[in-house]
């Protein structure tokens, strides 16, 4: 008895501390709210690699060309047709609620006028800071700002790794030199924080060293002190807020309550004219539906050219996406993950009040679609963004049965969207599944 009493007292004393430490504590839920509702972000990989149209940073790291030849690209980074307001307008019109731009990739080339390094846009053919006007344009459009920042800087004299086969030193053997690098990178974060007040930090490259070596806990604490609302992606060596699967669409709903799939439109992050393996707008939209159906966000990448223009194929996809997200807003923003596998043959989302199911038709349906295991009675079924009321039939649900029955919905061809059709199933009450 005493023992039980004591242990439950201890539990009550410890509960607040425990709750505070949980990733899903109330403050976490509040902080992550806009991100959870946003669903779509646009990633921007812009840097000197766009000059030759080669792999960002990796091309010299993997020794496909020399570091010197790679850096010569600064002479071709003109930004002569760069219109940041156009970028921001295009991003907004795609339906994205946030954007993440590469302020500095692994090659160390900074888009802003950093005091930490000479390798920066003002010293390139552009002769100016190209980040500040973009941030301004993003703010003007009311979009949330994410800053991508690579922890590694393979060009920096005090960074251990130079290329795959060439190491400058080992951090453990030369702590002061490593300390010098830590000061440099943390100083750059301070510059970015003070100048741009990002809503989200998107770190990358943490795999090169461990959390202690990066001082990840300290960096996280510092960034949250600077801005208690800021969100940090997973790539700060285990000190982030959400998971970042890359390129591969998860097959099952990820366990992490917050996640974001980052994905290229073709196979490259930066501009590579020789890479024509573009996904169609429809494929991008289908993938987007799959992602939000599993409760995640899509961070879709564009790679502007060295002159600052956005390749036509990429702006086409953004505009097509914009038409579709505009038409289907209610099925996208602020929704939750939809039905688990087996209930419907395709992705679905659920309205925040849990009374409307949105079904994303994964193919051109041949007349009827089938929904299983939904116990609710149905108020109305309609085509999202179009209005047509659809007929349905409930089978295998005689009055004496407790089973949910099968719901068949007739979808006439003339209501189909040429990308992905969405059906709203308005339920009586909150969704109840068998
Ligand atoms: C990888 C690559 C990098 C790219 C990033 C985008 O970490 O190193 O080149 O920027 O993925 O998610």
pLDDT in tens, 75-122: 999 999 999 999 999 999 999 999 999 999 999 999 999 999 999 999
* Mean pLDDT over each residue of the chain, to the nearest integer: 93
Ligand 1 centre and the CA of 148: distance in Å? Answer: 10
Would you list the domain boundaries of the chain? 24-327, 336-427
Asked whether 50 and 125 are in contact (CB, 8 A), the reply is: no
Which ligand 1 atom is at minimum distance from the Cα of 58?
Answer: 9
Q: What local confidence, expressed as pLDDT, does residue 400 receive?
A: 83
Beta strands in 10-104 (DSSP E): 40-44, 98-104
Q: What local confidence, expressed as pLDDT, does residue 16 receive?
A: 43
Mean per-residue pLDDT, 218-233: 97
**What are the angstrom distances between the C-alpha of 134 and each of 87, 89, 91, 386?**
8, 11, 12, 35
Q: Whose CA is nearest to atom 5 of ligand 1?
A: 204
Nearest CA-CA partner of 23 in 239, 226, 336, 229 = 239
Ligand 1 centre and the CA of 264: distance in Å? Answer: 10
Q: How confident is the model at residue 319 (pLDDT cuts 50, 70, 90)?
A: very high
Q: Which residues contact 246 (CB under 8 A, 6 or more apart)?
A: 261, 262, 263
Task: Write the pLDDT tens digit of every residue in 154-195.
Answer: 999 999 999 999 999 999 999 999 999 999 999 999 999 999
C-alpha span between 96 and 40 (Å, rounded)? 5
At the top level of CATH, the class of 336-427 is: mainly beta
Ligand 1 centre and the CA of 204: distance in Å? Answer: 7
Q: What local confidence, expressed as pLDDT, does residue 24 receive?
A: 52
Q: Which residues contact 220 (CB under 8 A, 6 or more apart)?
A: 232, 236, 239, 240
CATH topology for the 24-327 domain: TIM Barrel (3.20.20)
Asked whether 174 and 204 are in contact (CB, 8 A), the reply is: no
Ligand 1 centre and the CA of 203: distance in Å? Answer: 10
| Confidence check: pLDDT of 57 > 60 | yes
Q: Whose CA is nearest to atom 9 of ligand 1?
A: 56
Q: What local confidence, expressed as pLDDT, does residue 56 receive?
A: 98
Q: Cα-Cα-Cα-Cα dihedral of 234, 33, 349, 317, to 10°?
A: -70
Which ligand 1 atom is at minimum distance from the Cα of 204?
Answer: 7
Q: Which residues line ligand 1 (CB under 6 A)?
A: 45, 56, 204, 246, 262, 269
Q: How confident is the model at residue 363 (pLDDT cuts 50, 70, 90)?
A: low
Ligand 1 centre and the CA of 416: distance in Å? Answer: 37
């Amino acid at each position: 008895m005493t023992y039980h009493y004591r242990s439950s007292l201890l539990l009550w004393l410890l509960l607040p501390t425990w709750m505070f430490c949980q990733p899903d504590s109330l403050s976490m839920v509040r902080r992550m709210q806009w991100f959870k509702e946003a669903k779509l972000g646009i990633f921007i990989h812009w840097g000197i690699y766009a000059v030759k149209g080669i792999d960002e940073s990796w091309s010299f790291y993997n020794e496909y060309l020399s570091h010197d030849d790679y850096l010569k690209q600064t002479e071709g980074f003109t930004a002569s047709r760069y219109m940041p307001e156009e970028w921001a307008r295009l991003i907004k019109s795609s339906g994205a609620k946030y954007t993440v731009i590469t302020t500095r990739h692994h090659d160390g080339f900074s888009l802003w006028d950093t005091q930490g390094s000479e390798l920066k846009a003002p010293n390139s053919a552009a002769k100016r800071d190209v980040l500040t006007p973009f941030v301004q344009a993003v703010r003007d459009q009311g979009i949330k700002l994410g800053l991508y920042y690579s922890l590694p800087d393979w060009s920096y004299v005090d960074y251990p790794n130079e290329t795959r086969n060439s190491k400058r030193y080992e951090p453990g053997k030369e702590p002061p030199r490593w300390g010098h690098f830590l000061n440099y990178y943390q100083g750059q974060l301070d510059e970015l924080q003070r100048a741009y007040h990002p809503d989200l930090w998107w770190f990358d490259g943490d795999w090169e060293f461990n959390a202690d070596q990066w001082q990840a806990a300290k960096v996280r604490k510092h960034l949250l002190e600077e801005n208690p609302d800021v969100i940090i992606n997973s790539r700060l060596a285990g000190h982030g807020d959400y998971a970042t699967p890359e390129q591969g669409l998860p097959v099952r709903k990820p366990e992490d309550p917050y996640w974001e799939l980052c994905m290229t439109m073709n196979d490259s992050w930066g501009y590579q004219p020789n890479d024509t393996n573009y996904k169609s707008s429809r494929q991008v939209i289908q993938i987007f539906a799959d992602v939000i159906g599993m409760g995640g966000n899509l961070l879709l990448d564009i790679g502007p050219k060295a002159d600052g223009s956005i390749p036509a194929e990429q702006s086409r996809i953004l505009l097509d996406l914009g038409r579709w997200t505009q038409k289907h807003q209610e099925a996208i923003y602020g929704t939750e993950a939809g039905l688990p596998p087996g209930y419907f043959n395709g992705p679905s989302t659920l309205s925040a009040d849990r009374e409307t199911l949105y079904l994303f038709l994964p193919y051109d349906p041949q007349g009827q679609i089938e929904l299983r295991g939904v116990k609710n009675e149905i108020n109305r079924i309609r085509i999202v963004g179009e209005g047509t009321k659809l007929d349905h039939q409930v089978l295998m649900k005689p009055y004496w049965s407790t089973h949910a029955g099968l719901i068949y919905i007739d979808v006439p061809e003339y209501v189909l969207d040429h990308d992905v059709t969405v059906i709203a199933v308005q339920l009586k009450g909150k969704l109840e599944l068998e």
